[in-house]
Amino acid sequence: MNKKLIILGIIFFAISIAARLLPHLPNFVPVAALALFAGVYLPKKWSMIVPIAAMFLSDLIIGFYEPSVMIAVYSSFMLTVLIGWAVKKQLNPATLFAGSLANSVIFFLITNFAVWQFTQMYAHNFSGLILSYTLALPFFKWSLLGDLAWTVAFFGAYALVTKFFPKADLSKQTVRVNMFAPERI
């Protein structure tokens, strides 16, 4: 892995932790974008470790919560890494948008199901499940907007770095980036 990619990864990692600790709109944090970026650009082992480490380190400060819900949250980000692995095969703005959107939906479905299933916040029947999803819609809006905005920021920053430093080897091969679609040279 190239030093400049490592530096960008560390910067995005730090931003992801800081964004969770600083005041922010509900769920408007970059962890999903970090997971997607890691899935696309980092080696497989590191792509799974980086977003989970960002969550864990920030949770050490914020505080832990219902273990079953935490597992659902962390698992959602691991699924986002897998989405990144799929996006990597045909990286372009459309697949990146679809990957970010898929993450938002998956996160919403999994985490709110976990809150319904593993806490006493809602009745454990179909009405309670629907209520958990209904009351989470405002959070979904901000998750969706945050995931898209942070994905554009992280992948856009990567594209700009590769454009303005074209001789910098930011992956295993030297690439020239036309926004998000790399052309091998």
In the chain, what are the domain boundaries?
A: 3-109+141-184
As averages over each run of 10 residues, the pLDDT of the chain (185 residues) reads 84 96 95 97 94 97 95 98 97 96 97 97 97 97 97 95 71 46 47
- Name the one residue in this structure whose structure tokens are 């948008």: 97
> Are 8 and 1 within 8 A, CB to CB?
no
Q: The pTM is what?
A: 0.87
User: How many residues are recorded in the chain?
Assistant: 185
> What is the secondary structure of 77-121 as a DSSP string?
HHHHHHHHHHHHTT-SHHHHHHHHHHHHHHHHHHHHHHHHHHSSS
Please give the helix or strand (H or E) that residue 177 lies within, else none: strand 175-178
Q: Give residue 154's Cα distance to chain centre.
A: 10
